[in-house]
Amino acid sequence: MDVRGELALVTGGSDGIGREIALQLQAAGADVIVTGRSIEKLQTMAALGFGTIASDLSIAAGVDAVVDGVASKPLALLVNNAGVGSEYELDDAATLESAAHCIRTNLDAPIALCTRLLATLRAQPEAAIVNVTSGLAIAPRAGGSIYCATKAGLRSYTQAIRHLLKDSHVRVIEALPPVVETNMTAGRAGKKMSAHDCAAEIVHGIRTGKSEVNVGMVKILQLVHSISPALARRIMIKF
């Protein structure tokens, strides 16, 4: 996809991987709108020339704010990147709200945005949906069961809508990052990819027409999983 002059929306685009995707799309010539929860971070992005929408995608009003914010605009690229972790514990009912918050943000919101913005995307000569999942969608970690489940669900959804839109000019892309150096992973030890390098692979995949962008070690993970799912899970636990 030639992103020059195209309007892109990056959810969770004021921090982490999303911010790097937004910066690199902008550098490639796209007009970019980012969403986020932090007014301060959104103000920083606005100063860099980005459109901004304040929204909490864990609630319906947050999704409404995003849809309203791009209404009547020629949106050609939707990047569903926003995501949160969960403090869910299997034997603790008090953590169910944390699980629900994660599901609403990571799975419900991208589905809602794909559905509600599809007509706008279809109206453009060329368009794409990019859903950012994770290597954990392939090989889940026991310590992050809800997060992994949301990413696996989004992966399945992405594959399904790719088939549904196969005869349209709306491409559907899945990006699968490994463990990346972000605020979400700040307390986690082990090898991490930089957000800049992760975003570079994703943006390259968008521009070169890939349907699935396996970032960094996820390329290897996909191969290992096809041979031994158990070994793939051990790799994710290590990293």
SS3 171: strand
Instruction: State the CB neighbour count (10 A cutoff) for residue 161.
Output: 18
Give pLDDT tens digits for 11-34: 999 999 999 999 999 999 999 999
- Total-model pTM: 0.89
C-alpha to C-alpha distance for 194 and 17, rounded to whole angstroms: 9
Separation of CA 10 from chain center: 8
- Is 147 catalytic? The answer is yes
| pLDDT (0 to 100) of residue 98 | 98
- What distance in Å separates the CA atoms of residue 155 and residue 158, rounded to the nearest whole number? 5
Identify the active-site residue in 8, 147, 213, 232: 147
Q: pLDDT-based confidence at 191, cuts 50/70/90? A: confident
Mean pLDDT of 79-96: 96
> What are 35's two structure tokens?
């969403």
Strands (E), 81-187: 127-132, 170-176, 180-181
DSSP state at residue 89: B
Residue type, 211: S
Distance CA 17, CA 33 (A): 15
Least reliable range by pLDDT among 45-49, 156-160, 181-185: 181-185
